[in-house]
């Protein structure tokens, strides 16, 4: 007798409801072995209890005890006395449940990603607004601090700036993260053309200040070398 042919929809329904999948630390290879041992243990326990109950009715008991055993050992008493331990599969879900969990996890990940992007965008907007508002000596001092911090990683100073409520410290921490690529908010800046343009304009001003400081340092070094040469020439002439 041939089996009844099933439609694709029925096959898919059976696949989603009957097929199981192991999750967590129980892999698809180890689960059948552990499940087989679990069933064998439950069957041995059931047989042992049955043996203890039926040992009274085995051949070899006295004739006067047969009637007592027959009265006591009824089907109802046997069913109540010997109960098979129920087995539960732990760590397995149906294919349909697994698909639902995957879709829910994907939805949560997408929501967290959007929330993180929005948080990064707000932080980048606040930091760039603070950077654009700096002028004069405040701007020069900020650029010099940023140059020192970005030139040598300082974890303690970065942690202090991250916890600080001062907008200037937060803006400095923003530059620090971009420079070192630590949880960088560069993605939020790249996704917003206005933020990217504002940050590029501030970086141009910062680079001009750093180049000016570099020229001053180089000029001082050259002046020092010239003074040392003059001093040596005077010593030779004496």
| Better-predicted residue by pLDDT, 185 or 142 | 142
Question: Which one, of 145, 150, 210, lies nearest residue 178 by Cα?
Answer: 150
Instruction: Kindly state whether residues 128 and 183 are assigned to the same domain.
Output: yes
Instruction: Kindly state whether residues 133 and 85 are assigned to the same domain.
Output: no
The position carrying tokens 């006067």 is 64
Q: What distances in angstroms separate CA 14 from CA 10, 19, 95, one per listed residue?
A: 6, 7, 10
For residue 20, list its beta bridge partners. Answer: 94
Instruction: Kindly state whether residues 123 and 205 are assigned to the same domain.
Output: yes
| Residue 68 maps to a domain | yes
CB atoms within 10 A of CB 147: 16
Instruction: Kindly state whether residues 208 and 154 are assigned to the same domain.
Output: yes
| Better-predicted residue by pLDDT, 155 or 57 | 155
| Domains held by the chain: number | 2
| Residue 221 maps to a domain | yes
Averaged pLDDT for residues 128-144: 91
- Spatial separation of the C-alpha atoms in residues 111 and 99, rounded to whole Å: 18
Q: Which band of pLDDT confidence, cut at 50, 70 and 90, is reported for residue 130?
A: very high
Last residue of a domain, one of 35, 61, 90: 90
Domain housing 178: 110-237
Ramachandran class of 117: left when φ > 0, alpha when ψ lies in -120 to 50, beta otherwise: alpha
The pLDDT assigned to 141 comes to 92
**Least confident piece of the model among 1-10, 66-75, 174-183:** 66-75
| Residue 4 maps to a domain | no
Instruction: Kindly state whether residues 62 and 153 are assigned to the same domain.
Output: no
pLDDT tens, position by position, 191-221: 888 988 999 999 999 999 989 988 989 999 8
Of 5-9, 57-61, 66-70, 178-182, which one has max mean pLDDT?
A: 5-9
| Residue 220 maps to a domain | yes
Q: Which band of pLDDT confidence, cut at 50, 70 and 90, is reported for residue 66?
A: very low
The pLDDT assigned to 208 comes to 92
Instruction: Kindly state whether residues 42 and 130 are assigned to the same domain.
Output: no
- Spatial separation of the C-alpha atoms in residues 38 and 81, rounded to whole Å: 22
* Cα pseudo-dihedral 115, 118, 122, 124, rounded to 10: 110
Token couple for 98: 């697994």
Residues 6+ apart with CB under 8 A from 177: 183, 184, 185
Ramachandran class of 100: left when φ > 0, alpha when ψ lies in -120 to 50, beta otherwise: alpha
| Residue 3 maps to a domain | no
Instruction: Kindly state whether residues 135 and 206 are assigned to the same domain.
Output: yes
pLDDT tens, position by position, 139-169: 999 999 888 888 777 788 888 888 888 999 9
Residues 6+ apart with CB under 8 A from 147: 210, 213
Question: Which one, of 182, 161, 165, lies nearest residue 173 by Cα?
Answer: 161
| Residue 141 maps to a domain | yes
Instruction: Kindly state whether residues 120 and 187 are assigned to the same domain.
Output: yes
**Least confident piece of the model among 29-33, 60-64, 229-233:** 60-64
Instruction: Kindly state whether residues 115 and 224 are assigned to the same domain.
Output: yes
The pLDDT assigned to 157 comes to 84
Instruction: Kindly state whether residues 229 and 119 are assigned to the same domain.
Output: yes
Last residue of a domain, one of 90, 125, 147: 90
* φ, ψ (nearest 5 deg) of residue 94: -75, 165
The pLDDT assigned to 2 comes to 60
| Residue 150 maps to a domain | yes
Instruction: Kindly state whether residues 149 and 207 are assigned to the same domain.
Output: yes
The pLDDT assigned to 27 comes to 60
Query: Whole-number mean pLDDT of the chain?
Result: 80
Token couple for 119: 């948080």
Instruction: Kindly state whether residues 212 and 117 are assigned to the same domain.
Output: yes
Cβ contact 90:15 at 8 Å? no
| Residue 127 maps to a domain | yes
- Spatial separation of the C-alpha atoms in residues 118 and 26, rounded to whole Å: 38
Cβ contact 16:96 at 8 Å? yes
**Least confident piece of the model among 34-43, 60-69, 135-144:** 60-69
First and final C-alpha spacing in the chain: 124
């Amino acid at each position: 007798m041939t089996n009844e042919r099933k439609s694709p929809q029925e096959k898919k329904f059976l696949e989603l409801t009957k097929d199981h999948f192991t999750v967590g630390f129980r892999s698809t290879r180890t689960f059948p072995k552990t499940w087989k041992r679990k069933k064998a243990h439950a069957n041995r326990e059931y047989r042992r209890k049955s043996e203890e109950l039926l040992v009274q009715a085995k051949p070899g008991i006295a004739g006067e005890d047969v009637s007592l055993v027959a009265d006591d050992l009824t089907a109802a008493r046997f069913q109540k006395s010997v109960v098979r331990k129920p087995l539960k599969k732990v760590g397995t879900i149906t294919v349909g449940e697994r698909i639902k969990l995957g879709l829910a996890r994907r939805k949560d990940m997408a929501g967290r990603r959007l929330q993180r992007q929005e948080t990064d965008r707000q932080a980048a907007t606040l930091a760039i607004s603070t950077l654009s508002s700096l002028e004069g000596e405040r701007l020069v001092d900020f650029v010099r601090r940023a140059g020192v911090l970005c030139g040598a990683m300082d974890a303690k100073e970065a942690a202090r700036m991250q916890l600080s409520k001062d907008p200037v410290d937060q803006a400095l921490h923003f530059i620090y993260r971009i420079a070192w690529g630590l949880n960088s908010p560069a993605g939020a800046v790249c996704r917003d053309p206005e933020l990217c343009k504002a940050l590029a304009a501030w970086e141009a001003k910062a680079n001009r200040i750093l180049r000016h400081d570099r020229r001053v340092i180089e000029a001082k070094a050259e002046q020092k070398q010239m003074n040392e040469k003059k001093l040596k020439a005077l010593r030779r002439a004496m």
